[in-house]
């Protein structure tokens, strides 16, 4: 599978949405250890609104789809999480090729733009114990993979692995943002909730791609 049509991209996003919704309790549990404990609720709210917004709608372009997804999250989640996670979709704009299909390389480039927007808005860098610790390695891994390979599934697997490693690495970091910042060294040993959400999103994309091979 070297490219996705617009309906497949929409199906993949809906699959991500359901995975996040199903993991509300897990994300809440992770966040309760050093955060406000509301990350799971916020992510569920955002992706429930995504489902309600796009499920019955037909799209002519990838950009329109991504814009609706991002705005659905931004308008329903609120707070820093809404701004940052909506940027995954709002930050990437497809510049070339057909508007109704997406190659692996194009997706990797879109996610790199999203990463740049997230870092501009949130000011977080690697090692700050945020979602960037999972998202940036995933984006870099996808870019490296797609430079020499066209397979969407393989690229998403590379992204998932890097996201997981980044998520687990947050246990070793001192929190620099949010409520956890006040804990300083006491935040070491706990996993970041935002990074966990990023990992779940990449895992969902990989799982969706595998299901397409089985179909």
Domain ranges of the chain: 3-214
Residue with tokens 């733009």: 113
Sign of CA dihedral 94, 97, 100, 106: negative
Q: Let me know: does 184 contact 28? Beta carbons within 8 Å.
A: no
Task: Report the C-alpha gap between 133 and 17 in whole angstroms.
Answer: 21
The torsion angle over the Cα atoms of residues 147, 153, 156 and 157, rounded to 10 degrees, is: -100
- Residue 181 scores a pLDDT above 80: no
- Give the 3-state secondary structure of residue 170: helix
Distance of CA 207 to CAs 13, 156, 193, Å?
Answer: 12, 9, 21
Instruction: Give 215's pLDDT tier (boundaries 50, 70, 90).
Output: low
Task: Report the C-alpha gap between 141 and 100 in whole angstroms.
Answer: 25
Averaged confidence pLDDT in the chain: 90
Task: Report the C-alpha gap between 83 and 75 in whole angstroms.
Answer: 9
Instruction: Give 177's pLDDT tier (boundaries 50, 70, 90).
Output: low
Q: What is the pLDDT of residues 71-117, one digit of tens each?
A: 999 999 978 889 999 999 998 876 655 688 999 999 999 999 999 99
Percentage of the chain exceeding pLDDT 70: 92
pLDDT for the residue 97:
55
Q: Let me know: does 198 contact 191? Beta carbons within 8 Å.
A: no
Instruction: Give 213's pLDDT tier (boundaries 50, 70, 90).
Output: confident
Q: Let me know: does 124 contact 177? Beta carbons within 8 Å.
A: yes
Number of Cα atoms under 13 Å in the Cβ half of residue 54: 32
Q: What is the pLDDT of residues 46-66, one digit of tens each?
A: 999 999 999 999 999 999 999
Task: Encode burial over 142-178: b for 16+ CB neighbours within 10 A, e otherwise.
Answer: bbebbeeeeebbbbbbbbbbbbbebbebbeebebbbb
Number of Cα atoms under 13 Å in the Cβ half of residue 96: 6
Mean pLDDT, rounded, for 201-208:
98
Q: Let me know: does 205 contact 16? Beta carbons within 8 Å.
A: yes
| CATH code given to domain 3-214 | 1.25.40.340
Q: What is the pLDDT of residues 153-172, one digit of tens each?
A: 999 999 999 999 999 999 98
Per-residue tokens: 200: 């779940």
């Amino acid at each position: 599978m070297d490219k996705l049509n617009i309906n497949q991209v929409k199906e993949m996003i809906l699959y991500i949405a359901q995975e996040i919704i199903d993991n509300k309790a897990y994300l809440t549990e992770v966040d309760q250890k050093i955060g406000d404990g509301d990350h799971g609720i916020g992510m569920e709210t955002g992706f429930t609104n995504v489902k309600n917004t796009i499920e019955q709608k037909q799209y002519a372009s990838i950009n329109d789809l991504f814009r609706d997804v991002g705005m659905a999250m931004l308008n329903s989640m609120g707070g820093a999480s809404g701004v940052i996670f909506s940027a995954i979709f709002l930050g990437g704009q497809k510049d070339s090729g057909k508007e109704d299909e997406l190659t692996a390389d194009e997706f990797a480039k879109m996610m790199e733009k999203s990463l740049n927007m997230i870092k501009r808005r949130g000011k977080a860098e690697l090692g700050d114990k945020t979602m960037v610790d999972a998202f940036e390695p995933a984006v870099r891994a996808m870019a490296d993979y797609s430079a020499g390979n066209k397979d969407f599934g393989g690229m998403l697997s590379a992204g998932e692995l890097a996201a997981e490693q980044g998520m687990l690495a947050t246990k070793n970091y001192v929190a620099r943002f949010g409520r956890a910042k006040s804990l300083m060294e006491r935040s070491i040993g706990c996993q970041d909730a935002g990074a966990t959400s990023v990992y779940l999103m990449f895992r969902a994309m990989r799982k969706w791609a595998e299901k397409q091979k089985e179909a």
